[in-house]
């Protein structure tokens, strides 16, 4: 229950992306590039931010408000749900609200908050699953199940 809001699915398509033009020229798929501008499939390991919306299985989109409030919304076109996910290390990301300018962070009690400045509580471990979704867990305050099935720090 500690990281219930941090387990989000990534949005498969970006609704804010421009529509494809229907011209006479053939449309080629966009070549993926890494942070250095070179082609590659490991763009999530580079430092270039990815703009995404995060949502959970109940279709709530994560929002980071300028006031510091974090919540979920069913509204698909909320500007506060557009997030920048930036790799800070291999498998470690920082999540920042594009329009709020605040970082998503988790305190030692497992509560999410919006930080004005980047700090260690803003780092999340990103796991990319085979079924096409990603999960995020605090890097600083990981929990590991013990043999009894309860969580320990």
Domain hosting 62: range is 4-11+45-152
CA separation for the pair 25, 9 (Å, rounded): 35
In a domain, 19, yes or no: no
41-63 pLDDT, tens per residue?
Answer: 445 455 678 898 998 889 999 99
62-100 pLDDT, tens per residue?
Answer: 999 999 999 999 998 999 999 999 999 888 999 999 999
106-132 pLDDT, tens per residue?
Answer: 999 999 999 999 999 999 999 988 888
In a domain, 29, yes or no: no
* Total structural domains within the chain: 1
CA separation for the pair 77, 101 (Å, rounded): 18
- What pLDDT band is residue 34 in, cutting at 50, 70 and 90? very low
CA separation for the pair 62, 37 (Å, rounded): 29
pTM exceeds 0.85, yes or no: no
CATH number of the domain enclosing 140: 2.80.10.50
Cα 101 to the chain's mean position, in Å?
14
């Amino acid at each position: 229950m500690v990281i219930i809001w941090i387990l989000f699915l990534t949005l498969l398509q970006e609704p804010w992306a421009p529509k494809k033009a229907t011209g006479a020229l053939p449309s080629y798929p966009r070549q993926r590039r890494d942070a250095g501008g070179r082609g590659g499939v490991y763009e999530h390991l580079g430092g270039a931010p990815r703009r995404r919306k995060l949502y959970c299985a109940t279709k709530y989109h994560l929002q980071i408000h300028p006031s510091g409030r974090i919540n979920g919304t069913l509204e698909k076109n909320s500007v506060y749900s557009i997030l920048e996910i930036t790799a800070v290390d291999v498998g470690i990301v920082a999540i920042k609200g594009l329009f709020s300018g605040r970082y998503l962070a988790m305190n030692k009690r497992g509560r999410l908050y919006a930080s004005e400045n980047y700090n260690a509580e803003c780092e999340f471990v990103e796991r990319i699953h085979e079924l096409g979704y990603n999960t995020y867990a605090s890097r600083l305050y990981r929990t590991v199940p013990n043999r009894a099935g309860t969580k320990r720090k």
